[in-house]
Structure 1
Amino acid sequence: MAVTLADVAARAGVSAATVSRVLSGNYPVAGATRTRVMRAVEELEYVVNGPASSLAAASSDLVGILVNDIADPFFGIIAGAVQSELNGPDGAQGSHKLAVVCNTGGSPEQELTYLTLLQRQRAAAIVLTGGAVEDAEHSAALSARLQRLAAGGTRIVLCGRPPLGPALPGQRGPQGHGELPVLTVAFDNRGGARRLTEHLLALGHRAIGYVAGPAERTTTRHRLEGHRSALLEHRGGPVREAEPLTVHGGGYDRSSGYDGALELLRREPRLTAVLAANDTVALGVCAALRDQGLRIPEDVSVAGFDDLPFSADAAPALTTVRLPLHEAGARAGKLALGRQGPPPGGVATVRADLMVRDSTARPRTD
């Protein structure tokens, strides 16, 4: 059932007229009252109706692109590729869309807030990029919000994150099916990490450290699972849940790689190889190793993930896993605009390919 103005008034403890004044912005309202009303609007996910909102109909020209960090090349490439699809086929007149890039900073709360704002603007489509936060409460809130958006005619596409689970009780997808009407362009993070670990094992490395990303992210878990599955198969025995040579960084950034590498060296001075959560983290790992007087790859091999533009030009060139970020973003853009048919089951998984370069070599034998 749609949330009404009266529902917001009841939640905020004010009159419906006061809520109307706050939302219109044309009348003076006490700051504390305005705060209570806007908090109620957020909590109830109230969407303004009426003549003013008709300017932002469900068929509007607005497309929202949610990213964790627009300064990260991973997200910048995907967002740029999505936006490149918004000009329409061959730049056809009247087919352009307006892209709004929403930088969440990795905050689950900010992600939900942006979705509410885009719902109020009746966005034609929304593309959510990057790994999801593994939190049951947030997942439920996210699914509910996406369900309401889809019910209002907004196309939803996930790019670089796993598919959502089944719809919540009481929510139905298209034709009454219990799945959210959300399309997904996913990356094979498990397979990519597995191939990277197998590469190091084949070179003869055994003391392999891993600087993982934030523990609560799906991307981190999937890449770590791929790494551990390769170790499990090679060792022929169980890999402990807390892998002794795994360090979780605070983020997918250079400083996390630097600090993580120092922690790995403290735990295992005989370390011969380090896997990094992504290429940016790998740069931090390389810097820390050099500051400790170690050579790459003569003393310690280093590998990244994503194959960001700088990876081939690093010194030495970085062994990594290539994700076709631009192609994935472009496909997500086409799906969001309905210019490409949905993949089987609503999910397209993009292969991750191993790129062997100069930063990995056989371990020293002396």
Structure 2
Amino acid sequence: MEHDITIKQVTTGKTKPDYNHLSFGKYFTDHMFVMDYNEEDGWFDARITPYEPLLMDPSSLMFHYGQSVFEGLKAYTSKKGGIQLFRPEKNFNRMNISSDRMNIPEVDPDFLVDALKKLLHIDRDWVPVEEGQSLYIRPFIIATEPALSVKPASQYKLMIILSPVGSYYAQSDQMSPVSIYVEDEYVRSVRGLVGFTKTAGNYAASLKVQKKAEELGYDQVLWLDAIEKKYIEEVGSMNIFFKINGEIITPALNGSILDGITRDSVIELLRHWGWNVHERRISIDEVKQAHVDGELEEVFGTGTAAVISPVGRLKWKDEELVINGNQTGPVSYDLYDTISGIQTGAKEDVLGWTVPLQEQET
């Protein structure tokens, strides 16, 4: 799959926001990448254009039947100079996995990495430079065919937009543990559905329970399996890990859990350090018993936004489990420090994860 990329740049760029007060996904750069698909031409008309609103038919299938997928990754200003990405090929490979399940045509991951580099070259001045800041990257595909019949679309649009973001944690509570509410009524997904994909409906279905958790005073929701409602799956925006009696346990990928890029990186790094990491079924009752026995040493989530989110409180039914005295544990600290250090070039990339942009790209 070969494409030329046409480029149309803005003549006058936007006024950049105050980088000392960035919030997630509120500000967007001057340009975006766009590519279209139809059955006759395949993916065509790859282009970088000024960031602007879309003109879409009201009957576009995406609006009615939710045929869409997306990804999330980041670009970082490297301590060594220049800009670098963190395992971008895995995001575009995963987007193809999501697309396959949603019956969306696959794309060429190598081409998209190249397109992203060109986009970053043009908007390189938007990549923040301060500690904890980054440029969030949102690739997505939507069904654009105008029709109301329930069927796979014959036309699609792929886009990449960029947003400068600050540290996930406020400076005053850097790496402070989050609190999690364990949901026992609603479910997120089940094997055979689309829980392993990044498609919009997965996230829309979680919003009601997320609001419920916040009203109860908790930050996020931990989902259980849909059949027995006892086995742990994932948190709404991240995968979950437990350190029990000196070993690390995370739910095995079972068809309803997202194969997180940060999850994979954490497992690989922990094993590189010599930890025993088990990917297996783990029930909420096992976690509760480990807490009773004094063996639940740490709990943490993993995801692109925060890298590592230590968990200090876990509410299950009428009980609240306080983990490690509601303090961040050493494994969580080490993982955050190492992965964020690799992402920003502050630490050696011993596992070959980063993709620096070459001089002509930056």
TM-score between the two structures when normalised by the length of structure 1: 0.29
RCO (CA 8 Å, sep 6+): is it higher in 1 or 2? 2
**Larger Rg over CA atoms:** 1
Q: Which structure carries more helix by proportion? A: 1
Q: Which structure carries more strand by proportion? A: 2
